[in-house]
Amino acid sequence: MTVSAASQKASLAIGQRSLGDPSQLFPLQPALLMGCPVSSTAEMQYPLDIDYAYDKLDLSLFDQGALAGLDRWAPLLPPLAPGISLGEGGTPLIQADKLAREIGFDGELLLKDESRNPTWSHKDRLNLCTVSAAKLGGARGIAAASSGNHGAAAAAYAARVGLPCVVVTSPGAQPAFRQFLHNLGAHLVIVPTERRWPVLNRLIEQTGFFPVSNLTRYHTGNPFGPEGYKTIAYELFLQLGRRVPGTVMIPTGYGELLYGVAKGFAELKRLGLTDRMPRIASAEPEARGPLARALRSNAAAMEVEAAPTIAAGIACTVSSFRGVEAIRLSNGRAMTCSDDGLIDLRSKLAHMGLYQELSGSAGLAALQAGLRRGERFEGPVVAILTSSGLKDLRAETDGVPFADEAGLEALIDQLGRKA
């Protein structure tokens, strides 16, 4: 199947299904960003999931190669805005025999390098779907709260479909992103970390922009985002010769990537293309690790203190219900890694020609930590590398305009208030 033939096929999405009560199915639009309106409670806003008419899928969709352009998977994605693809996906799967020996793993180790995406991170897959939902839903613009990769991807895909984008970030965000966002045409708002979500909500309320970031306490998230991530599972299935890995190690913040990959493998099994799922392993900074703590406590989600860690991209203080579901769905495991482990594995990756941001090496760092404790991992093991190390570098930010909270009203007037 060629890219053009695949991309012309219509989405088989049928609606937003509640993860809190799967009997509840809602229309595709509008996006339900505050959780399931039926099953959610004051304590937990259950996320929505995109459901499909799987029985209508032509399985020849999986006869194509694991190439770039996620529009090739259109039948199993939500409706995509015309022309939005930037050639995301199709990232390489790299043999890592020497690295396996260095960390003490006696099986096959493979690396899925997501830094090869258009804005150098896995977040491009997510924003292809969320920005499409915004464009097709008639949104006036895009709004995101982000300290890095997510904001860059949102800005790029917003620019691709001609929508303005505002990214709310904190003073501690990597300086390289300011220049990155500016050159992509995004408006930058810098506020204290604790003010990011109140400011994002104010922007949404007054401008009518579509949020591609979470709005709830335990990260309900955008229903459309993880759909882009599940294509990683499709690609791995094809890259491994129509088989699935034994274990997939995934750097984990709020758990959207974790859930998306698990869902992709679950779909492959549901479609009869495989009879098993890999074990999905989350990899969080041990200083925080809210998902690992939630699973130990048999909780739907967990909030922890903001202990210091160098893993800026996954330094989350709350987990999500999606994260718990991903681990349970795959009979997986919740793991953590130390900052020293992140530094060590980033160095080892660089010595084999792969320069990752610190968070991107979390899956390997957690794998090495588990091996040192005597744990066993079924192979082949695939570690997902999430983002380029260039994003960790210091950068010149002189001349990059931004607004603070005092200048927010002027920015909202510039963007145009919601009618």
- Tens of pLDDT, residues 275-296: 999 999 999 999 999 999 999 9
Give mean pLDDT, residues 372-383: 98
159, containing H or E segment = helix 149-160
Per-residue confidence (pLDDT) for residue 175, from 0 to 100: 77
| CA–CA separation, 182 and 317 (whole Å) | 28
Mean pLDDT of 35-48: 96
pLDDT of 396:
57
Residue 83 pLDDT more than 60? yes
98 burial type by CB count under 10 A (0-12 exposed, 13-18 middle, 19+ buried): exposed
Least confident of 57-71, 103-117, 161-175: 161-175
The pLDDT-based confidence of 9 (bands split at 50, 70, 90) is confident
What distance in Å separates the CA atoms of residue 159 and residue 291, rounded to the nearest whole number? 34
The answer, yes or no, to whether residue 395 has pLDDT greater than 80, is no
Give the whole-angstrom CA distance, residue 83 versus residue 104: 45
Q: Cis bond leading into 290, ω under 30°?
A: no
| Res 399 pLDDT > 60 | yes
Q: H helices of 303-352, where?
A: 321-329, 339-350
Confidence of residue 119 (pLDDT cuts 50, 70, 90): very high
> pLDDT tens-digit profile of 241-286?
999 999 999 999 999 999 999 999 999 999 999 999 999 999 999 9
List the structure tokens of 106: 């006696």
What's the confidence (pLDDT) of residue 5? 43
User: Stretch 171-186: mean pLDDT, rounded?
Assistant: 86
Going by pLDDT thresholds of 50, 70 and 90, the confidence category of residue 34 is very high
Query: What pLDDT does 115 receive?
Result: 97
Identify the band that residue 7 occupies on the pLDDT scale cut at 50, 70 and 90: very low
Q: Work out the angle between the directed axes of helices 321-329 and 256-270 (0-180°, nearest 10).
A: 40
What whole-number percentage of the chain has pLDDT above 70? 97
- How many Cα neighbours within 13 Å face the side chain of 306? 3
Q: What is the mean pLDDT of residues 339-356?
A: 97
Residue 173 has pLDDT above 90, yes or no: no
Q: In this predicted structure, what is the pLDDT of residue 398?
A: 61
Q: How far apart are CA 260 and CA 107, in angstroms?
A: 25
Mean pLDDT of the chain: 94
Residue 217 CA to residue 34 CA, distance in Å, equals: 10
Write the single-letter amino acid at 275: D
8-17, 172-181, 289-298: lowest mean pLDDT where?
A: 172-181
The whole-number pLDDT of residue 3 equals 40
pLDDT of residue 397: 57
